[in-house]
Amino acid sequence: MEVKISLWHHYLHAIQSRETPKIQDYQRAENVLLTVLERVQELDSRFQVDYSRDLEAFHFALRTSEDDLTIEVPLWVNSDALLVQEARDGGLEERGLRENLPSPASYSLGVPWDVAGLERWMTEDVFSPSKSPECQGYILPSKVLRRLKELLVAAIVHCKHHCLIMPGSLNAANLKEEDLHMSLLVSSGWRMIRFNIIPVLKKNHKILHLQRKQLAGEFPDDSLEKIQRQGADLIPSSSHHWRISTDNLITKLLSIVGSLKGHRLDSLSILDRVNNEGWREGGKKAGLTFDHLKMVLLWATELFPSPEDWSDLESSVYRLLVILLCCLATKKLPHFLFPQHNLFQGQGLDLNSLYQQVEQFAGQPEQFLKIHVTHLFSSSPRIDNGIKAFLQLPANNQTYWDTAYFDVLLDKVGICHHARQHGE
């Protein structure tokens, strides 16, 4: 067991040794992007700069994977003053899109007849008039995106002309609004980081109806209440409608998890590196994302509530693994705040292949935890052939989705009592 513990920690140390340089990489790239966005705000004050991004830098340092990052451009408007209407129906394309979103509803943003101070949002470049008795017209995502693209192009030209950004620090070749966001490649000094730029209507307090009533485990009693008070952020879901984004809510929950004692975030970092370098072959193939693994961690934090569950690194990783295996076996990863939504749905993932890869890691993790080709270890497989049937039980009966069930799963891989008997 001493060899195994040192191997897990050796692997973690290799990840952590890159955290400070990665934060610096992120901040260099972010500074370039903020310089451009500051110019956007100067050109049109309706589009604001969001400087509250410390948590994003920290989460970037946890990652090995290089999935696209999101940077939001808040719209300067009192979102509670707008008429936010749920779209009762939509085209086939939009209905298909909704199925893949955390909150299935789409919304239109209307400008009421009797509210002052919204005149700046009634100009032709963002607004479409209406004869509706309820509002004067609607703020359209397609127009907002088009205007933001124009501003970004003008801002990039200005910043380059005045040497506010270094030559080669930004690539705007993929800048287009058809994808409901705009992509920019930004240099961190030694590599390019892709940012997806998205306009966002911040903190609407009328429409956030979570499917959870409370959070269990080590989450503080008022965690969900704090999340609810954040309000809903709305981002484009089609040319005419907006949808709720839960990114900031999940980020806030993850920061709560990070404040708890134990190896929760360490486990996330280890799985993300194994996922990127092993299961996704260095990011060359599609597969699980960092967002998928974050959701697994949030469920693990709730389902394994004891602090001693997280005192040992190896068994902490296995707490995430048994939940991930169960999700892959049942082909369902519930959203933490909207459990009825399946995050695997519509992703085009080969879940059977992913299950085999994750099971292989869980059975013989030493094969994946080598930092160098000379780090070779052998061990007996932990997982027997009959475990997949047991993993599929929650698919037909959701009462299995609880701590007792996952404790039994840990027992089956020889982990359940490890954290209680072997402190680190």
DSSP annotation of 75 reads B
Q: What pLDDT, in 10s, does the model give residues 137-174?
A: 999 999 999 999 999 999 999 999 999 999 989 998 88
Contacts of the segment 341-347: beta carbons below 8 A, 24+ positions apart: 341/101, 341/102, 341/103, 341/104, 343/102, 343/291, 343/292, 343/295, 345/99, 345/100, 346/99, 346/100, 347/100
Tokens 């981002």 label which residue? 235
Question: Smallest Cα–Cα separation from 273: which of 312, 218, 227, 320?
Answer: 320
Q: What pLDDT, in 10s, does the model give residues 9-29?
A: 989 998 888 888 888 888 999
Tokens found for residue 60: 């970037």
Of 15-19, 268-272, 318-322, least confident by mean pLDDT is 15-19
- Domains observed in the chain: 1-85+106-245 (3.30.460.90), 260-423 (1.10.1410.40)
* Bridge partners for 253 per DSSP: none
**pLDDT of amino acid 47:** 98
Question: Smallest Cα–Cα separation from 209: which of 82, 102, 334?
Answer: 102
pLDDT band per the 50, 70, 90 thresholds, residue 39: very high
Residues 6+ apart with CB under 8 A from 214: 221, 224
DSSP annotation of 410 reads H
Tokens 């949808």 label which residue? 243
Give backbone dihedrals phi and psi of 382, rounded to 5 degrees, phi first.
-90, -25
Tokens 């809903």 label which residue? 232
What's the whole-model pTM score? 0.87
| Helical pair 313-330 and 290-303, crossing angle rounded to 10 deg | 110
DSSP annotation of 310 reads G
Question: Residue 89 and residue 319: Cα distance in Å, rounded?
Answer: 41
